[in-house]
Amino acid sequence: MAMAGTTDTLVLRCELSWEDVREIMAASRLLTVMRRSWLTAGVLFAALLAESLVLLLLVVTRPAAYGAHRGLLRDELIAGAALCLLLVCWSALRVWRLSPGRQARHALATGVWLHGTYEYKLRHDGVAWRAPDGSAAFLPWPALAGACETGRMFLLLDQEGRNVRGFIPKTGRGGQQPDAELDNLIRERINSGIS
């Protein structure tokens, strides 16, 4: 990471990689809730599938107990089991599609996040960053409520505790660690903006 700084501005540069975007996606509360809800639905559909298979086994092994309606009941149980199997597969597909790695690949492929060098400036009045395409953004410190630290970066949080589009990298090109005081600097500036 290239770092340059004056007394009130710190400049950081990093190459955005798939691992960085994956970390951003993994920290997303919305994606986590959606993944967990589809996983729960998949477990419930699997339980329904197991129950319908048990009932189907009972109908097949005890034909006399169901009389003339045995064939109709068996067909309905087969249709129910097939539907449950389809829903289990659909839920598994949704969980896979909402995984952080898959979302990161999709975001990089579609241009939601751009490959290339990002530049971040931690100024006395806020944080600014420039994307590889030249677009820039600025957030004043009072607009931020905190930062969520992950393994590779600090994700910036708004007043409702949601991730904003920006982040501050911990490491960059060459994998060099920035000053150990970066965490304290970010939190100090956010806290000074809040008060």
pLDDT tens digits, residue range 82-114? 999 999 999 999 999 999 999 999 999 998 888
Which among 78, 104, 130 is the end of a domain?
A: 104
178 versus 88: the higher-pLDDT residue is: 88
Q: Are residues 36 and 23 in the same domain?
A: no
Q: Are residues 14 and 43 in the same domain?
A: no
- Asked if residue 129 is part of any domain, the answer here is yes
> Whose CA is closest to 159, among 132, 130, 129, 190?
190
Q: Are residues 80 and 56 in the same domain?
A: yes
Residue 162: predicted pLDDT:
81
Return the axis-axis angle of helices 29-61 and 70-97, rounded to nearest 10°.
160
- Asked if residue 58 is part of any domain, the answer here is yes
Q: Are residues 139 and 90 in the same domain?
A: no
Residue recorded with tokens 């006395």? 124
Tens digit of each residue's pLDDT (9 = 90 or more) over 117-171: 889 888 888 889 898 998 998 989 888 888 888 888 888 888 887 888 778 887 6
User: Distance (Å, rounded) from C-alpha 100 to C-alpha 11?
Assistant: 28
Cβ atoms 98, 28 nearer than 8 A: no
Count how many domains the chain has.
Answer: 2
User: Distance (Å, rounded) from C-alpha 186 to C-alpha 83?
Assistant: 52
Q: Are residues 166 and 98 in the same domain?
A: no
- Asked if residue 109 is part of any domain, the answer here is no
Q: Are residues 15 and 54 in the same domain?
A: no
Which among 79, 104, 129 is the end of a domain?
A: 104
Residue 81: predicted pLDDT:
96
Q: Are residues 139 and 176 in the same domain?
A: yes
Q: Are residues 68 and 100 in the same domain?
A: yes
Domain containing residue 38: 30-104
Q: Are residues 137 and 184 in the same domain?
A: yes
